[in-house]
Amino acid sequence: MRPKIAAGNWKMNGTQSALDELDALAGMLPGGSTQVVICPPAPLLIPAVARAGGIAIGAQDCHAAEKGAHTGDISAAMVADSGATHVILGHSERRVDHGESDADVSAKVDAAWAAGLTAILCLGESEADRVAGRTLDVIGAQLAGSLPDAARTENTVVAYEPIWAIGTGKVPTLEQIIEVHDFLRAALIDRFGAEMGDAIPLLYGGSVKADNAATIFEAENVDGALVGGASLKASDFAPIVAALAVS
């Protein structure tokens, strides 16, 4: 049985007052074994950990190097030292806005693991890739290039996030989601063997909302969601967590 994971990516949203939403969310969770991870902006990591209750806290990025002259960056060890347990890596907004390559992302994932963090590795095709019929090629290449060989079940989560679905309200059909998630599952099994390949959780991300979550969670190889906009308010995110818990 793979864990069910509902992860919220606050992106560059929220000052300290946003932590009230964390308190509210903690009070709305369904209980059971569904894992909830909130990834606030870096300045909120430490106060978020202090107020998180049963919610895990994650960062949205880390540098590949242990330390040094990298103004504005944070290391994986700093993220772990804050009490956070997860880090999102390879999000398309990092790949596009900051020119991160698969090799860059792979190095960051290794750094995250070395610091004891769980990496939430994001993969996703552009609209042009999808229209050109290149989706599985792109996803396969990103998985091969940005997930290091040292992956372990306990510290690896893969999130499929079609770029054209992020923040747009456009959601792939269930068939499209199933196609990619089944492809990812097969690729993981092919690379890491049946036991481990079957145990790594696969999240879907891109315009997940309370009203489409239950349908998305019907897919066998969707083990949860990575949610942006609808994770900012507890009243929007809690129903998504609830839908996952009963899926």
Task: Identify the residue among 62, 80, 227, 234 touching ligand PGA (CB under 6 A).
Answer: 227
Task: Identify the residue among 228, 239, 241, 243 touching ligand PGA (CB under 6 A).
Answer: 228
User: Which among 63, 91, 100, 181 is annotated as catalytic?
Assistant: 91
In angstroms, give the least distance from the CB of 200 to ligand PGA. 18
Residue 171, interface with ligand PGA (CB under 6 A)? no
Count the neighbouring beta carbons within 10 Å of the beta carbon of residue 202. 23
Residue 167, interface with ligand PGA (CB under 6 A)? yes
Half-sphere exposure of 168 (CA within 13 A, CB side): 13
Measured at the alpha carbon of residue 34, what is the angle toward residues 29 and 36, in degrees to the nearest 5?
65
Q: What is the DSSP letter of 126?
A: -
Count the neighbouring beta carbons within 10 Å of the beta carbon of residue 128. 11
Count the neighbouring beta carbons within 10 Å of the beta carbon of residue 239. 18
Q: In angstroms, rounded to a whole number, what is the distance separating the alpha carbons of residues 180 and 163? A: 14
Residue 179 annotated as catalytic: no
Q: Which is nearer to ligand PGA, 77 or 123 (CB)?
A: 123
Residue 166, interface with ligand PGA (CB under 6 A)? yes
Q: Which is nearer to ligand PGA, 197 or 228 (CB)?
A: 228
Task: Identify the residue among 40, 205, 224, 239 touching ligand PGA (CB under 6 A).
Answer: 205
76 contacts 62 by C-beta, under 8 angstroms: yes
Residues in contact with ligand PGA by CB under 6 A are: 9, 161, 166-167, 205-208, 226-230
Enumerate the active-site residues.
Answer: 91, 161
